[in-house]
Chain A
Amino acid sequence: MNKTITYKLKEKTLLFMSFLLVAVLVISSCSTDETQTVATFTELVWQDEFDTDGSPDPANWGYEIGTGINGWGNNELQYYTDRTENATVQNGILIITAKEEQFGGASYTSARLLTRDKIEQAYGRFEARIKVPAGSGVWPAFWMLGADCDEVGWPQCGEIDIMEYRRQEPTSVSGSIHGPGYSGETNPQGQITKSYDLENDRFDASFHVFGIEWGPDYINYYVDDVLYNQITPADLKITPDDGSGELAEWVFNKPFYIILNLAIGGAFPGPPNAEEVFPQRMLVDYVRVYKQSNN
């Protein structure tokens, strides 16, 4: 199963790649082996394989509830609940279900699970195996927020989006960071982002592994066995340009927590088509966190 790795990287990344030679064998619970040659952090420190049916393990996962402010800042259409109708574990898979129903003033329900105050870590490798839903107007995401968001606020706390997907680009996912000076809320937007395109395949057709490997001065993004981007402090151009020539602040040097959610509507995917069918489901086979094992 050794696949040819297609590097789509800048020169400096290729230099960095020269010592990324350790092949890590990732064995999924669905018996498809993926040979990972893009990540070096091998010491597993936390995982949820979703092996126990029922509600997601409360030791690992909490919930955001409701509609947030302005639809979680994105004019999203769903009401998030902690009901098993919206998030449940069955047959080794976490199922996040978006339903079309009147609930709490919203027309849809769904779930946003997060490890805040439970699993928070600075640096490491964060990886999940996910099948995104095949529907319009839904916005599955695997992402992280700085654990100090409640104190310092967003975007100062930092945001690492490991995977975002929308049906407008069924062969593509994007990985991004948001922070002060590159929040994504300005014009031009300013978040640091890159898309990864599948060839001769689409993301809603099957499970894929989405991950980052995050060190003190870099974040590497990968999908399956392809490393497709590296973001470093040198990439943090302030947007809009303030003329100072200085780079924005790198805020990815503190603990972050993990978020899995399935939003409905919002600016990124737009609203569902009128004929869209619900429920829509995001499937998560596992979430794993590693750290660098050089100590």
Chain B
Amino acid sequence: MKNKTLNYSNIILLLVLFFAFTLSCERDLSEEVEFATFSNSAEIFIDAPIGLGTDFYFPFFGSKATAWTVDESQGYESNASMRFDVPNANDPLGGYAGAIFRVDGAGRDLTGYDALTFWGKASQGVTIGELGFGQDFVDNKYQVNASNVSFGTNWVKYIIPIPDSSKLIEERGMFWYSAGTEQTGGLGYTFWIDDLQFEKLGTVGSPRPEIFNGNDEDSQTFIGATAFPIGHSVTFNLPTGFDQTVFLTPSYFDWTSSNPSVVSIDETGFNTALSPGEATITATLAGVQATGSLTSTVLGNFDSAPTPTQNQADVISIFSDAYINIPVDYYNGYFAPFQTTQGQDDIFINGDNVINYIDLNFVAIGTFLDVGSVNATEMTHIHIDINVQEAIDSGDFINIQLINSVGNNEASGTVPISGTELSAYNWVGFDIPLADFGLASRSELGLIFFISDATISNIFVDNVYYYKE
């Protein structure tokens, strides 16, 4: 009988092995794989930093690096907290406060939590620009933040929901913040945060994700064009009954293209137009369908503008992939209230950036606000390539206008381009002598206008540069 029993257990063992083998034949991960497990500790700062290691505070560029300290005089139901002294806007050591708190070492397993929580207060009523987690200065793949978080002068508990914690198997970005003085007239203030930790609340619910700002968008594009999705967020309902919206990186979503052979999309949301046709991009967040979509019509191969041939040394380039461009304020100033023009440097195809202005009446490229104006005294011409994306009627025009010394005894000069000089769906290059603009000086050029008065409403623009012959 003893032997028989042994036999039975052997058979059972064999059966167990058989089933184990059979069940594993889906070619998932081998059963011998053991997932690396990371610390699932929740606490980040409870009266002192917890488990962050030694080198964990990394200020943002241009921020005041000493803004964060541990305040040993007050805390939430304790005697210590994190203190953030937001500097005056004109502080020479940095005009705002902002940093990431990154674990010095391996990341944490946050899959068991559903929110980052903390208690906070400020020296005055103020809104803190951004508070979140998931920023690690490596690829910031799972970055999250709440914006314009209202702080009062007494301790309040805050909840920043985790959009999908199943993604966070090893996260180093425990916390990040950015706070300025836009709403305090440039004057600094202090805020405190305590009991900063991840929690499994269970009471954060009804997620409402959206992509493309919740709209069903349409676009036309060309083979080789690449883009990232825009306008994504998710709104949760908190246990207090109030909604909390957080902004998040596209990697939290599961992206789908209705026609991957037309437009492919990867897990980070990076999408590429591959062949002519139509494809719609949608997404889910932790299994919940996001509102909004983007339907792209891929028209075919993009006909790039001819590559310019002037030497870099003879060129001041505003917008061209052939040259090193000078910094600009914008490629579309969106001037209110009369400008209708939309679009800017939206098209990126096989290394070629192209401006697409749509609903054009007028638009300008600016170089006078935060960047230096252009001294084109030595230059003789301005070059512009234009490709009109519609039929051209008699009487259509695009006037090119240059403004020198914007807002300070400014002067303007205009050169008209008539419709007969343009060609529908074809690139036409213009080399306009700067003398034709009739400007007394061109040492402080600040604006390049394209003015069609809506006679022409959809154009591609490329290779905008000044040069000397």
Contacts and interface: CB of A to CB of B under 8 A. Distances in A.
A251 interface: no
Given A200-B200, A201-B202, A201-B203, A170 B208 contact: no
A232 B202 CA distance: 34
Interface in B206-250: 206, 208, 237, 239, 241, 243
B205 to A, nearest CB: 5
A168 interface: yes
B213 to A, nearest CB: 12
A13 interface: no
B274 interface: no
B237 A170 contact: yes
B205 A200 contact: no
Given A273-B243, A277-B208, A200 B202 contact: yes
A135 B206 CA distance: 8
Interface string A163-207: 000111111000000000000000000000000001111101100
Contacts of A273: 243
A167 B203 CA distance: 12
Contacts of A202: 202-203, 205-206, 237, 239
B201 interface: yes
A106 interface: no
Nearest to B199: A200
Nearest to B235: A275
B241 A200 contact: no
B114 to A, nearest CB: 10
Nearest to A166: B241
A167 B202 contact: no
A171 B239 contact: yes
A280 to B, nearest CB: 11
A204 B200 CA distance: 17
Interface residues of B, number: 12
B201 A170 contact: no
Q: Which of A169, A170, A200 has the most CB of B within 10 A?
A: A170
Interface residues of A, number: 18
Given A134-B205, A200-B200, A167 B239 contact: no
A204 B202 contact: no
Given A273-B243, A277-B208, A171 B237 contact: no
Given A134-B237, A277-B208, A170 B203 contact: yes
In the complex, which of the residues A134, A198, A202, A204 has the most CB atoms of chain B within 10 Å of its own CB atom? A202
B206 A200 contact: no
Contacts of B243: 136, 273
Contact of A169 (B202, B205, B206, B241): B241
B121 to A, nearest CB: 24
Nearest to B208: A277
A170 B202 contact: no
A88 B378 CA distance: 78
A166 B240 CA distance: 11
Interface string A33-60: 0000000000000000000000000000
Contact of A205 (B200, B205, B208): B205
A184 B280 CA distance: 53
A171 B238 CA distance: 10
Nearest to B200: A200
Contacts of A199: 202
Contacts of A169: 241
Nearest to A205: B205
A135 to B, nearest CB: 8
Contacts of B241: 166-170
Contacts of B206: 134-135, 170, 202, 204-205
Interface in A227-245: none
Interface in A150-171: 166-171
Contacts of A205: 205-206
Contacts of B202: 199-202
A171 B242 CA distance: 12
Contacts of B208: 277
Given A169-B241, A171-B239, A199-B202, 15 more contacts: A134-B237, A136-B243, A166-B241, A167-B237, A170-B205, A170-B206, A170-B237, A198-B203, A200-B203, A201-B202, A201-B203, A202-B203, A202-B239, A204-B237, A205-B206
12 contacts: A134-B205, A134-B206, A169-B241, A170-B206, A170-B239, A171-B203, A198-B203, A200-B201, A201-B202, A201-B203, A202-B205, A277-B291
Counting from the closest, the 7 A-B pairs by CB-CB distance are A134-B206, A200-B202, A168-B241, A202-B205, A201-B202, A202-B203, A205-B205
